[in-house]
Amino acid sequence: MKFCSECAAPIEIRIPEDDIHPRHVCSLCGVIHYQNPKMVVGSIPIWDIAGEAKVLLCRRAIQPRHGYWTLPAGFMENKETTSQAAMRETIEEAGANIALHDLFSILNVAHVHQVHLFYRASLLDMNFAAGVESLEVRLFSEQEIPWDEIAFPTVAHTLRFFFADLKQAQFKLHEQDITQTLTANKS
For Zn ion, the binding residues (CB under 5 A) are 4, 6-7, 9, 26, 28-29, 31
Min dist CB 132 to Zn ion, Å, is 37
CB of 8 to Zn ion, least distance (A): 7
Are the beta carbons of 107 and 158 closer than 8 angstroms?
yes
Which residues, 6+ apart, have CB-to-CB distance to 174 below 8 Å? 104, 105, 106, 157, 158, 161, 187
Element (H, E) at 23: strand 23-26
- Contact between 171 and 102 under an 8 Å Cβ cutoff? The reply is yes
Residues contacting 16, CB < 8 A, separation 6+: 23, 25, 32
Measured distance CA(130)–CA(60) in Å, rounded: 10
Least Cβ distance, residue 161 to Zn ion (angstroms): 45
- CA atoms 113, 78, 153, 58: torsion sign: negative
User: Of 24 and 138, which has the nearer Cβ to Zn ion?
Assistant: 24
Q: How far is the CB of 16 from Zn ion (least distance, A)?
A: 14
Q: Which is nearer to Zn ion, 4 or 55 (CB)?
A: 4
* Residue 150 beta carbon to Zn ion: minimum distance, rounded to whole angstroms: 43
Q: Give 17 or 125: the residue with its C-beta nearer to Zn ion.
A: 17
Give 26 or 151: the residue with its C-beta nearer to Zn ion: 26
For residue 125, with 0-12 CB atoms within 10 Å meaning exposed, 13-18 middle and 19 or more buried, which class applies?
exposed
Query: Measured between alpha carbons, how far is residue 115 from residues 18, 64, 110 in Å?
Result: 27, 17, 7
Our CB check for Zn ion shows the closer of 29 and 173 to be 29
